A and B are shown apart, each in its own frame.
Chain A
Amino acid sequence: EIVLTQSPGTLSLSPGERATLSCRASQSVSNSYLAWYQQKPGQAPRLLIYGASSRATGIPDRFSGSGSGTDFTLTISRLEPEDFAVYYCQQYGSSPRTFGPGAKVDI
């Protein structure tokens, strides 16, 4: 089973600033099948990025993903008030599909 770790656990920033979140896998993620989700309190996760770097439908271009192998990054170029949330990475290259512990972006 691939174990995902995320850092930092919490990122305290202000609107307009840049957020950089890291996701590290215990072994290489096949075909860069790595996704990022955003979750707000009381809501279901929303797919942001798939295939490490492809934005899902309707996702603003301030969200970008990069990386391969075992190291991946989610960048939010300029934080908007609605971006303050918890972000999860998830690998779907091998079974079982696994999620990271989440990283909170707050003010």
Chain B
Amino acid sequence: QVQLQESGPGLVKPSETLSLTCDVSGYSISSGHYWGWIRQPPGMRLEWIGSIYHSGSTSYNPSLKSRVTVAVDTSKNQFSLKLSSVTAADTAVYYCARVGGPFNMWGQGTMVTVSS
């Protein structure tokens, strides 16, 4: 059974870089699929951040593109998210997901708060 698990700091200071990792189990990232990050600020709608293929090909939401890097490490069967120059507006629950057209498998999510 495919499982995804996010990990990373729950508190990040303004202007610093948010870094999260998604560990995938039960499925080899190298086998295919795109893998993505989605976030949900408190009380707001879900927002797609970006996606990556196992080959390293990426696509990003234009609203975040200048600050986002998504990378994949097939040897560890995980992918990662870096979001630079964070502000309070980046406070959200961050989810990783498998992309099969729609997002067909999700991690449980991790809350990240941006505060000094």
Contact = CB atoms under 8 A, between A and B. Distances in A.
Interface of A: 1, 33, 35, 37, 43-47, 50-51, 56, 88, 90, 92, 95-102
B48 A96 contact: yes
Chain A's interface: helix, strand, loop or mixed, by majority? loop
B63 A92 contact: no
10 closest Cβ contacts across the A-B interface? A35-B102, A44-B106, A99-B46, A97-B48, A96-B61, A50-B102, A101-B45, A99-B45, A47-B104, A44-B109
B48 A50 contact: no
Nearest to B64: A96
7 contacts: A44-B109, A47-B104, A50-B104, A88-B45, A90-B46, A97-B61, A99-B47
B95 interface: yes
Interface string B67-96: 000000000000000000000000000010
B102 A92 contact: yes
Q: How large is the interface on B (under 10, 10 to 19, 20 to 34, 35 or more residues)?
A: 10 to 19
Contacts of B102: 33, 35, 47, 50, 90, 92
Contacts of A88: 45-46
A69 B55 CA distance: 33
Interface string B90-116: 000001000001111111110000000
A64 to B, nearest CB: 16
Contacts of B19: none
A4 B5 CA distance: 29
Contacts of B46: 45, 88, 90, 99
B48 A99 contact: yes
B108 A98 contact: no
Nearest to B6: A44
Interface string B18-39: 0000000000000000000000
